[in-house]
């Protein structure tokens, strides 16, 4: 039997199953009037499993019916006989006296929204669950205490459900203040800063069925990572929270982390990330999330009392599925750089391939061709020195190692002219350093799958590598959960599952024809491990054939394995080129230590590297600035530099070019679905800002309007006019970069024929522009994934909202925003998880503010000056009252408050809606949530009639909520959010754009706008306003959230558009700042040195042989610092 429960799955518990034996029936009854009726019941005989007699499907039951006796299946000795005593019942019928539901669909929808807004369903369900579990002597008192808020925190019941004589829950901690609750709720959605110098980082992984304990500590100045890891087959909620066992969890922490009773070691800090089932529960059930917080608060108290009063903190957070995949990629990349990808000792008895090579020959040949720049089949140590001098990162490391090997070969008496491919392969077999360098340069990303989704993460190439993430909502549990497989699994069911996988990959814009070396993790690893091909490098043909053979041999009853192996096989078939290679690996060895590529390792590595970059000072003295030659490709179509000019591999499409030129304008194209955006950005190096000199739209579709119609000259002319490029002599060449989004992203990823057609068109456009300008023009096009596009949009908005002169209208700044900003100034590391309780008497030293502002990415001199002006009593101490008064009077401080409170963006489009969450720290990792529901869904699906009825609107509302629920969109999110794209257009109709509004103001404005819409209004307007309203209602906190709906921004005398291209430029502009600072310092040092030498020559009369350029060139060189300065820090560095 199939049972349906209304609401979340957690609401179906506790549950009891009873098998009742039918004994008698009244038969079918007609309508009964009011009054009392006597119904005669006739005994049943021969009852089968379906509750029928002669029509039973059970042969045994049918036989029993003939004999007048039957034993019901599933019971013990229970018999129904024909001699059962006749029974009757009395039935009294009267008109219903219950309260009627509100009349009309609008009232019903309003009642439903009221229940959702106040979380009545979840709250009442939890109360009844605890009532049935505890069975108190006085149930009414229990219910009264629970519903009135005496049995938990803020009226929400804790899972233990016990009521003490004073009405309090003995297991729950003391009620928290509103500020404390706000910080804890926010910490669930915002990634905390975990890494601390001089102390281990303790991370907990609350997986679906187990709890992982990980301790990380970097030793020897970052040269060695110390890891301790263990797991317990105890789920966090089922084993600890629901039975309310804080002592047991405290004991587990003590044993697994080997905690010692040392009061001098500072606070005990733990960071707990919820994944899998726990992620779903915490994101969808606000009561469950608060119960988890209450439980951890009590664990903190238990730890503190156990370890002599030491402070204990446990920060609970929820990494999204995309962020988890991103962190796993960081962990894998670090392991590839430090551990051997393939251990030959592990391959004994397992033939890698026919030749027994560690790496397939095609990969080795590709790497060798990168070193053989002359193309003569060999290279010398001298050739490699030039490569190393003009390369960065991985290529420089590889060239250096190969150069040493070539030199060693020459010193040993081998006078042959350079190193051949055979020599390179031989050295690869014997040199661990060369093997490590090769695997580092060929590593391209990760491939993973899970129960509900599959992911591919790609590492970009170049001087500033980008990360591209692709995810599809298809996992190996779906056929089991949705009942698509029978037992045994039929061939038709397998083919249906394959077709569904392909359809989801196509819908998710998964790329095709990808090359490189990918590491398979998670369920992808387990699938290939079942084949016996794990732990070695294999090509696509080998892994696909192995999966196919294993699928044929699998037990047809093994549904999970069939589902997983089919998923991985189709994922590899769809995504990768025949030249792609894989290694499926889980455990890695570095010296004697063993590592696992988990998201927790990736989190530690990412944050440690970011902290090291922020704190490092030695790197500022590491040499002169050189612009990498790879940033400017040679003239001509860029794809013709590959080995196959006629075929453009998909992986080349994802290489993000460098575009933030420090001394020249950058020309960027945004090739969208129906138009092409043209943007010109320039760097204001003196003030450390970005200027937009031009932005316009070419109002025609790129592919349909230009490529298909072969309008080469028209497109070339449109580009030149849009960018305002003047013909004639000037720079040696022009570089135009761009990215494809929307429809054009799908074309380039999925259609090889159209892809080739587009790039042949671009090559001819290059020639046309070159002819018009009289100088060489290069066009670089790449494809940002949807996730990367969202990250760049977030980065652009984050930069804009922190500008002091931006045109944001705000009345009185919300008190919680001032408190949060001041709290961040009080913290040493600007982490939102360490916010102190804001007190009116708490103060901060003004001189210490600069470093904290830098951690937030705020360099504005106006902000620093405004903080000093806020010190009204001139005692160099800024208290909360002074700060609050100054914020309402100083625009610069309002910009700082906006930046401190900025938490992400909310956007929507025709086919999807997105939420991005970011922390307060600059360049913090963002969490992204997306659902496949946009404002065109009702139009495409014909959900609305003309005019749209209230029933249809209510159905649309329910569909949005179901999408938010299934996509695990968070609830109760706090902070300042910027609404862009369709969210902005909805707010424009509601009249709440260009100013900061609270959630309540926004909800009222959207409701009024919907009420004022005419019955025959445009379906798109109804759909968009409803979508915006429901997303805001679902996601944001009622009291501690604000929104700013804005598209065009004016700041620093320039108009900006918050597009993804702005985020692209800002990311590379700020990432290249350190290089510019080093360059300025070196130029100034050279200039000062020449002036000193000139003075020595003048006063001492000594004749010095200069090894520097002559004085006239020195005068010209002094203009460099003025052009390259990036702020006050340069003056200090130069001195």
- 1061 pLDDT tier (thresholds 50, 70, 90): very high
Main-chain dihedrals φ then ψ at residue 173, nearest 5 degrees: -75, 175
In Å, what is the CA distance from 314 to each residue of 440, 533, 780?
36, 40, 47
> Are 1028 and 980 spatial neighbours (Cβ–Cβ below 8 Å)?
no
214 has which bridge partners? 203, 229
pLDDT of residue 53: 36
Give residue-wise pLDDT tens across range 852-861: 666 555 655 6
pLDDT > 80? residue 736: yes
The secondary structure element, H or E, covering residue 321 is: helix 321-338
pLDDT > 50? residue 882: yes
pLDDT of residue 62: 35
Q: Give me the chain's average pLDDT, please.
A: 74
Rounded Cα distance, 715 and 671, in Å: 12
Rounded Cα distance, 321 and 338, in Å: 26
pLDDT > 70? residue 869: yes
- 584 pLDDT tier (thresholds 50, 70, 90): very high
Tokens of 697: 């739209």
Report the range of poorest mean pLDDT among 164-173, 196-205, 292-301, 369-378. Answer: 164-173
Highest mean predicted confidence (pLDDT) among 138-142, 298-302, 397-401, 801-805: 298-302
Give residue-wise pLDDT tens across range 818-851: 888 887 777 644 344 444 444 444 666 666 666 5
Highest mean predicted confidence (pLDDT) among 676-680, 972-976, 1057-1061: 676-680
Angle at 750 between CA 747 and CA 751, to 5 degrees: 70
Q: If you average pLDDT over residues 509-514, what whole number do you get? A: 85
Give residue-wise pLDDT tens across range 686-702: 777 888 999 899 988 99
Report the range of poorest mean pLDDT among 337-341, 552-556, 921-925, 1086-1090. Answer: 921-925
Rounded Cα distance, 1031 and 969, in Å: 9
Report the range of poorest mean pLDDT among 220-224, 430-434, 783-787, 854-858. Answer: 854-858
From its phi and psi, is residue 222 left (phi > 0), alpha (psi between -120 and 50) or beta?
Answer: left
pLDDT > 60? residue 715: yes
pLDDT > 90? residue 1026: yes
> Are 18 and 1 spatial neighbours (Cβ–Cβ below 8 Å)?
no
Q: If you average pLDDT over residues 123-143, what whole number do you get? A: 75
pLDDT of residue 558: 92
Q: If you average pLDDT over residues 950-957, what whole number do you get? A: 88
pLDDT of residue 276: 79
Specify the higher pLDDT residue, 328 or 643. Answer: 328
The secondary structure element, H or E, covering residue 732 is: none
- 399 pLDDT tier (thresholds 50, 70, 90): low
pLDDT > 60? residue 68: no
Residue 514 DSSP SS3:
strand
Give residue-wise pLDDT tens across range 250-295: 999 999 999 887 655 678 889 999 987 788 788 777 778 888 888 9
pLDDT of residue 117: 66
Share of the chain above pLDDT 70, in %: 67
684: nearest Cα among 658, 666, 667 = 666
Judging by beta carbons within 10 Å of its beta carbon (0-12, 13-18, 19+), is residue 320 exposed, middle or buried?
Answer: buried
Give residue-wise pLDDT tens across range 238-247: 899 988 999 9
Highest mean predicted confidence (pLDDT) among 367-376, 431-440, 635-644, 967-976: 967-976
pLDDT of residue 466: 61
Highest mean predicted confidence (pLDDT) among 99-108, 569-578, 932-941: 569-578
pLDDT > 90? residue 707: yes
The secondary structure element, H or E, covering residue 1063 is: helix 1060-1071
pLDDT of residue 57: 35
Q: If you average pLDDT over residues 933-945, what whole number do you get? A: 87
Q: If you average pLDDT over residues 63-77, what whole number do you get? A: 36
Report the range of poorest mean pLDDT among 49-53, 144-148, 447-451, 667-671. Answer: 49-53
Tokens of 1026: 């409803």
Q: If you average pLDDT over residues 24-45, what whole number do you get? A: 69
In the structure, how many helices (H) and strands (E) does the chain have?
41, 37
pLDDT of residue 855: 58
808: nearest Cα among 676, 940, 899 = 899
Q: If you average pLDDT over residues 762-777, what whole number do you get? A: 91
pLDDT of residue 415: 53
pLDDT of residue 941: 84
Rounded Cα distance, 1047 and 1056, in Å: 8
Report the range of poorest mean pLDDT among 3-12, 168-177, 648-657. Answer: 168-177
pLDDT of residue 1073: 66
pLDDT of residue 333: 86
Tokens of 832: 């939102």
Q: If you average pLDDT over residues 1096-1109, what whole number do you get? A: 54
pLDDT of residue 645: 35
- 355 pLDDT tier (thresholds 50, 70, 90): very low
Report the range of poorest mean pLDDT among 9-18, 150-159, 324-333, 765-774. Answer: 150-159
Specify the higher pLDDT residue, 543 or 509. Answer: 543
Share of the chain above pLDDT 90, in %: 20
- 461 pLDDT tier (thresholds 50, 70, 90): low
From its phi and psi, is residue 688 left (phi > 0), alpha (psi between -120 and 50) or beta?
Answer: left
> Are 779 and 761 spatial neighbours (Cβ–Cβ below 8 Å)?
no
Highest mean predicted confidence (pLDDT) among 92-96, 599-603, 605-609: 599-603
Tokens of 227: 């890891």
Q: If you average pLDDT over residues 376-402, what whole number do you get? A: 64
In Å, what is the CA distance from 24 to each residue of 32, 67, 1068?
20, 18, 79
- 984 pLDDT tier (thresholds 50, 70, 90): very high
Report the range of poorest mean pLDDT among 399-403, 790-794, 937-941. Answer: 399-403
Q: Is the peptide bond before 897 cis (omega within 30 degrees of 0)?
A: no
Tokens of 910: 């025709």
């Amino acid at each position: 039997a199939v049972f349906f429960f209304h609401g979340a799955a957690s609401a179906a518990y506790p549950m009891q199953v009873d098998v009742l034996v039918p004994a008698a029936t009244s038969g079918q009854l007609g309508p009964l009037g009011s009054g009392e009726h006597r119904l005669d019941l006739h005994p049943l005989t021969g009852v089968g499993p379906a509750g029928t007699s002669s029509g039973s499907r059970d042969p045994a039951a049918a036989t029993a019916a003939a004999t007048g006796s039957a034993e019901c299946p599933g019971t013990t000795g229970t018999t129904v006989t024909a001699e059962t005593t006749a029974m009757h019942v009395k039935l009294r019928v009267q008109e219903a006296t219950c309260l009627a539901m509100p009349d009309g669909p609008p009232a019903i929808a309003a009642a439903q929204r009221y229940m959702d807004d106040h979380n009545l369903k979840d709250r009442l369900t939890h109360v009844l669950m605890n009532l049935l579990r505890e069975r108190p002597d006085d149930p009414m008192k229990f219910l009264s205490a629970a519903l009135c808020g005496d049995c938990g925190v803020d009226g929400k019941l804790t899972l233990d459900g016990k009521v003490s004589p004073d009405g309090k829950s003995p297991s729950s901690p003391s009620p928290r203040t509103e500020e404390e609750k706000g910080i804890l709720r926010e910490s669930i959605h915002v990634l905390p800063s975990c890494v601390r110098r001089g102390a281990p980082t303790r991370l907990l992984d609350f997986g679906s069925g187990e709890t992982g304990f990980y301790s990380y500590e970097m030793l020897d100045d970052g040269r060695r990572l110390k890891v301790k890891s263990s797991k317990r087959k105890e789920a966090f909620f089922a084993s600890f929270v629901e039975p309310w066992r804080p002592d047991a969890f405290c004991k587990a922490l003590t044993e697994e982390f080997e905690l010692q009773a040392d009061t001098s070691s500072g606070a005990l800090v733990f960071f707990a990330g919820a994944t899998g089932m726990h992620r779903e529960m915490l994101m969808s059930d606000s009561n469950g999330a608060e119960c988890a917080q209450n439980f951890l608060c009590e664990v903190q108290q238990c730890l503190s009392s156990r370890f002599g009063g030491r402070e204990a903190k446990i920060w609970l957070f929820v990494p999204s599925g995309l962020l988890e995949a991103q962190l796993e990629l960081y962990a894998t990349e670090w392991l590839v750089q430090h551990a051997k990808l393939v251990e030959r000792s592990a391959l004994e008895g397992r033939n890698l391939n026919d030749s027994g090579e560690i790496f397939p020959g095609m990969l080795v040949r590709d790497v060798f061709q990168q070193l053989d720049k002359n193309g003569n089949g060999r290279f010398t140590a001298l050739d490699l020195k030039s490569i190393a001098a003009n390369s960065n990162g991985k290529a420089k490391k590889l060239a250096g190692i190969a150069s040493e090997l070539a030199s060693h070969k020459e010193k040993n008496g081998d006078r042959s002219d350079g190193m051949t491919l055979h020599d390179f392969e031989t050295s690869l077999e014997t040199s661990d350093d060369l093997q490590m360098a090769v695997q580092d340069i060929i590593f391209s990303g990760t491939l993973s799958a899970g129960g509900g989704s599959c992911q591919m993460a790609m590492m970009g190439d170049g001087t500033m590598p980008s990360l591209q993430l692709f995810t599809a909502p298809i996992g190996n549990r779906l056929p089991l959960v949705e009942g698509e497989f029978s037992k045994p699994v039929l061939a038709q069911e397998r083919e249906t599952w394959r077709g569904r996988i392909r359809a989801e990959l196509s819908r998710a814009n998964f790329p095709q024809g990808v090359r490189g070396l990918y590491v398979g993790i998670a369920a992808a690893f387990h699938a290939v491990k079942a084949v016996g091909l794990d732990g070695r490098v294999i090509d696509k043909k080998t892994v696909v054939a192995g999966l196919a053979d294993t699928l044929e041999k699998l037990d047809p009853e093994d549904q999970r394995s069939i589902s997983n192996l089919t998923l991985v096989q189709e994922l590899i078939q769809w995504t990768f080129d025949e030249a792609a290679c894989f290694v499926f690996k889980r455990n890695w060895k570095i010296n004697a230590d063993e590592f696992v590529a988990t998201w927790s390792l990736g989190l530690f590595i990412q944050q440690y590297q970011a902290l090291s970059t922020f704190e490092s000072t030695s790197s500022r003295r590491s040499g002169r600035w050189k612009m990498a030659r790879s940033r400017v490709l040679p003239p001509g179509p860029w794809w013709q530099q590959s080995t196959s000019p006629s075929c453009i591999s998909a992986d080349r499409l994802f290489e993000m070019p460098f575009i933030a030129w420090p001394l020249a304008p950058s020309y960027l194209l945004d090739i969208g679905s129906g138009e092409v955006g043209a943007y010109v950005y320039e760097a204001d190096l003196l003030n450390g800002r970005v200027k937009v000199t031009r932005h316009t739209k070419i109002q025609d579709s790129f592919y349909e309007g230009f490529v298909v119609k072969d309008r080469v000259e028209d497109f070339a002319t449109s580009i030149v006019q849009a960018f305002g490029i003047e013909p004639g002599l000037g720079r040696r060449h022009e570089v135009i970069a761009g990215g494809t989004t929307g429809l054009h992203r799908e074309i380039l990823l999925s259609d090889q024929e159209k892809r080739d057609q587009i790039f042949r068109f671009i090559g001819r456009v290059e020639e046309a522009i070159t002819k018009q300008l009289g100088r060489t023009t290069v066009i670089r096009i790449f494809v940002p994934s949807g996730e990367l596009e969202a990250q760049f949009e977030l980065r652009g908005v984050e930069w804009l909202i922190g500008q002091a002169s931006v045109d944001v209208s705000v009345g009185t700044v919300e008190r919680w925003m001032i408190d949060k900003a001041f709290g961040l100034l009080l913290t040493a590391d600007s982490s939102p998880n360490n916010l102190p309780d804001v007190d009116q008497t708490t103060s901060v030293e003004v001189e210490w503010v600069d470093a904290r502002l830098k951690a937030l990415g705020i360099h504005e001199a106006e902000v620093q000056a405004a903080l000093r002006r806020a010190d009204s009593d001139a005692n160099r101490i800024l208290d909360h009252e002074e700060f609050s008064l100054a914020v309402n009077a100083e625009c610069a401080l309002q910009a700082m408050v906006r930046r401190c409170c900025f938490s992400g963006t909310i956007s929507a489009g025709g086919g999807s809606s997105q939420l991005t969450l970011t922390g307060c720290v600059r360049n913090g990792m963002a969490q992204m949530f997306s659902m496949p529901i946009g404002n065109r869904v009702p139009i495409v699906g014909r959900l609305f009639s003309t005019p749209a009825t209230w029933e249809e609107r209510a159905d649309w509302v329910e569909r949005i909520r179901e999408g938010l629920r299934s996509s695990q969109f968070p609830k109760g999110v706090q902070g300042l959010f910027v609404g862009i794209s369709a969210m902005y257009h909805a707010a424009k109709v509601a009249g709440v754009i260009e100013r900061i509004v609270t959630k309540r103001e926004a909800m009222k404005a959207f409701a009024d706008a919907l009420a004022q819409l005419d019955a025959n209004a445009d379906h798109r307007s109804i759909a968009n306003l409803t979508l915006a309203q429901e997303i805001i209602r679902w996601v944001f906190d009622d009291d501690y959230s604000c929104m700013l709906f804005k598209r065009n921004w004016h700041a620093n005398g320039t108009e900006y558009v918050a597009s993804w291209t702005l985020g692209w430029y800002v990311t590379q502009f700020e990432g290249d700042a350190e290089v510019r600072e080093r360059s300025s310092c070196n130029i100034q040092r050279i200039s000062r040195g020449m002036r000193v030498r000139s003075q020595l020559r003048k006063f001492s009369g000594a004749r010095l042989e200069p090894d520097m350029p002559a004085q006239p060139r020195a005068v010209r060189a002094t203009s460099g610092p003025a052009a390259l300065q990036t702020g006050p820090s340069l003056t200090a560095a130069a001195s």
